[in-house]
Amino acid sequence: MTATRSLEQETMVTLQELCVNGGLDDSSESTHRVEQTTTPPPPSLDGVEAIIGYEFNNKRLLEEAFTHASLGESFSNERLEYVGDSVLNLLFTKQQYFEYPDLSPGVLTRLRAANVDSDKLARVAVKHDLHRFLRHKKPLLEEQIRQFSEEIRRYPLHSNGLVEVPKALADLVESIIGAVFIDCNSSIDIVWKVFKELLEPVIRLETLKIHPVTQLYEMCQKRNLKVQFVDLWKENTSFDVLVDDQFVGRGSCRDKKEIAINRAARNALDNFWKLFP
């Protein structure tokens, strides 16, 4: 377990160093453009309760959960998102503790993380059409959702960092969870009953995949090989991967460095055995 934690820490430090000039969320100019308020109004929130199978006592919470900060109202779903994030982590912590009585905390943590990250939650919003009800002034979001919906077809369960995720979708799901939690007087059991099926398919131990960067480091560590990520972001929004100074892979992403790094690691893994049999 100590070795696993050390490797995970090394991976995180590497990612932080690679993105130190701009952070993992660095974006191209398309992300920084001023968005015009041309998004059509969303449908009535009446359909949300039918989708999630829960009727709100306080409809104000429902409205708040679907109000993005970009709308410029006096309230937004950011506070409910904060609540929902904590509740969701607790829900999976409880569920996995009893489902896997012999699993170590390290593996439980990775399993929980896979089920509560942006990729997994954004899929929930798309699968159940919850994004249609989001009130916002982010016209670029619609195109991002369309691209996301297409790209995840290649990764039915989880992309492990290879797909650009519209964060607003994941935030929305957390906000709805937070709204239900507050509305039902903080009953964890009621929240789990409402969202258990909505969150399916849940990633379980047998379907849990290793993150490509972590997997690459593990493979190279076992063979005493040195891994190096070459930052070409400013030149062509890409990263190269060298193993023992030999080129093994490349990945690119127009908007986010982190995804370019992950794609580079994935490409290196695909080529690894050809170069290091």
pLDDT at site 199: 97
Q: What is the pLDDT along the chain (277 residues), one digit of tens a residue?
A: 444 445 555 555 555 556 554 444 444 444 444 444 455 677 889 899 999 999 999 999 999 999 999 999 999 999 999 999 999 999 999 999 999 999 999 999 999 999 999 999 999 999 999 999 999 999 899 999 999 999 999 999 999 999 999 999 999 999 999 999 999 999 999 999 999 999 999 999 999 999 999 999 999 999 999 999 999 988 999 999 999 999 999 999 988 999 999 999 999 999 998 888 8
Task: Work out the angle at residue 167's Cα, subtended by the Cα atoms of residues 197 and 143, and round it to the nearest 5 degrees.
Answer: 100
Residues 6+ away with beta carbon under 8 Å from 223: 276
* Distance between first and last Cα of the chain: 28
Residues 107/206, Cβ–Cβ less than 8 Å: no
243, β-bridge pairs:
227, 246
The per-residue pLDDT for 63 is: 96
pLDDT of residue 14: 56
Which pLDDT score, from 0 to 100, does residue 15 have? 56
Q: What's residue 34's pLDDT?
A: 42
Q: Which of 218, 18, 253, 242 is nearest to 147 (CA)?
A: 253
Distance between alpha carbon 206 and the CA centroid of its chain, in Å? Answer: 20
Identify the pLDDT of residue 24: 45
Concatenating the DSSP letter of every residue in 41-105 gives PPPPTHHHHHHHT---S-HHHHHHHTB-GGG--S--THHHHHHHHHHHHHHHHHHHHHH-TT--H
Give me 239's structure tokens.
């990263």
